[in-house]
Structure 1
Amino acid sequence: MNEPNWKPLEKVLPLDQCADWMWMYARTDGDRVIQHYKHRDTRGYLYLDQDGQAWTFDVATRGCYSSFVCDIDHEHTDDTHTARRISLAEAIEQAGL
Structure 2
Amino acid sequence: MRHLLLALALATPLTIAETLTVPLGNQGNPALSTPTRGASMSNVAKAFGQPQSIRAGVGDPPITTWQYPQFRVYFEYDKVIHSVKNRTAADA
TM bracket (short chain): 0.3 to 0.5
TM superposition score normalised by structure 2: 0.38
Kindly indicate which of the two structures has a greater share of residues assigned to helix.
2
Kindly indicate which of the two structures has a greater share of residues assigned to strand.
1
Greater length-normalized contact order (CA 8 Å, ≥ 6 residues apart): 2
Q: Which has the larger radius of gyration?
A: 2
TM superposition score normalised by structure 1: 0.36
